[in-house]
Homo-oligomer: A and B are copies of this chain.
């Protein structure tokens, strides 16, 4: 299925090498023909790792594996396949994970517990892991420091463009780099709002400090986005720090400098890239809620709007239908007072204090609805809680992609 590239696509940024990371992709023929579907990364000895995983109660075998191995805090390799999620595959799924980790560990000369794994694709079909493990020696032989684009493309499923983001941060006066790749692009909702995301840095950071920075970052980025409200069984965000940069030892969060802020920026870019490539997406929608009783309440209201099919179809149709936003605010179950509610689209307040603003100028709203990026603001008028969510519209493209046989 060749999908047209999302009109919201962004070009891949320039991605410099990161000391201690070599990566690449190969075609193992697991499901797709004529494209790479296995990605491998080799990480320098001493690489620390942090991870955040789906809260779906039926996680895939690779998620179970990663959760267990995360306790060690050390990673030497990453193996990812696209096309088969290795979810709901019982004993066979566990066997596939163990064999894949063992094969990669033999190549990288490390314990299997230092191999991290992720799979994405169809649920409930056995992963033909012999094809995967057979591809690894050849792939390992060609890993490169500049393999970013190949890796970003190799993890794609229904994605229409590769997704990557990069930033530099300063730790104690030394510049470090943070680069991540991610894939979507359906079954996307908190928690978390992506299927797979891998971030690499040359910084040297103890695993517990990384875990805290990653958790807060995912909370502020991926968990504020949604495509279709469906939470994947495979959602995985992994952060690897190779420790190759020569900066002062990091022993507490204060010593991280602006690392956490830059990490969050990378995660934010990737989360938005996933929404931009939401299945069938024609519009990127930002929803800012203010005046809530708390920040958490504001975010829940924003996500209720972001997940409302009637809001998403209205925007697909170019309709500034703020009545459906009222509905979505009301169904969120959060404190809301209809008679204090205000709603703006594209900066024009169409409703205030529970009623339409008499004589508001429709022209800028109509013009805004023709843009690719739509801004919705809701003021609940109750407190000072603020929150933001991002989503895309719901279009015929989503039905095409997901209503075709076993996409």
Show the binding face of A for B, using Cβ within 8 Å.
54-59, 85, 87-93, 122-126, 186-187, 189, 228-233, 307-310, 313-314, 316-319, 321-324, 326-336, 338-339, 341, 351, 353-356, 394-396, 398-399, 402-406
Kindly state the separation between the CA atoms of A335 and B58 in the bound complex, as whole angstroms: 10
Given contacts A88-B355, A230-B308, 18 further A-B contacts (CB under 8 A): A57-B334, A57-B336, A87-B326, A90-B354, A124-B323, A124-B356, A187-B327, A230-B310, A230-B328, A230-B331, A233-B326, A314-B402, A317-B404, A319-B403, A319-B405, A319-B406, A396-B399, A396-B403
| Cα separation A335 to B90 with both chains bound (whole Å) | 18
Q: Which residue of B lies closest to A310 (CB)?
A: B230
Identical chains bound together, number: 2
- Which residue among A88, A92, A233, A404 has the maximum number of chain B CB atoms within 10 Å of its CB? A88
Residues of B within 8 A of A330 (CB): 54, 56-59, 231, 233
Quick check: A351 and B398 within 8 Å, CB to CB? no
Cβ–Cβ < 8 Å partners of A324 in chain B? 123, 187, 230
Contact of A399 among B186, B228, B316, B328 (CB under 8 A): B316
Distance of A221 Cα from B18 Cα, bound (Å): 58
Using Cβ atoms and an 8 Å threshold, which residues of chain B touch A321?
406
Q: Considering the chains assembled together, what is the distance between the CA atoms of A310 and B395 in angstroms?
A: 14
Contact B187 A402 (CB under 8 A): no
A64 to chain B, nearest CB (A): 9
A228 near B310 with CB under 8 A, answer yes
Tell me how far the C-beta of A349 lies from the nearest C-beta in chain B, rounded to whole angstroms. Answer: 13
Question: Which chain B positions have C-beta within 8 A of A351?
Answer: 88, 124
Pick from B122, B187, B232, B310: contact of A186, CB below 8 A: B310
Cα A54 to Cα B106 in complex, Å, equals: 61
Q: Are A58 and B395 in contact (CB under 8 A)?
A: no
Known A327-B233, A341-B88, A351-B88: A333·B403 in contact at CB below 8 Å: no
**A331 CB contact (under 8 Å) in B186, B231, B334:** B231
Residue in chain B with minimal CB distance to A324: B123
Q: Contacts A403-B313, A406-B319: A336 and B91 contacting too (C-beta < 8 A)?
A: no
Asked, given contacts A323-B124, A327-B232, whether A402 binds B309 with beta carbons under 8 Å apart, the answer is yes
Q: How far is the CB of A56 from chain B (nearest CB, A)?
A: 4
A272 and B228 alpha carbons, distance in the complex (Å): 25
Query: How many whole Å from A367's CB to the nearest CB in chain B?
Result: 15
Task: Indicate whether A338 sits within 8 Å of B402 (C-beta atoms), given known contacts A228-B309, A233-B330.
Answer: no
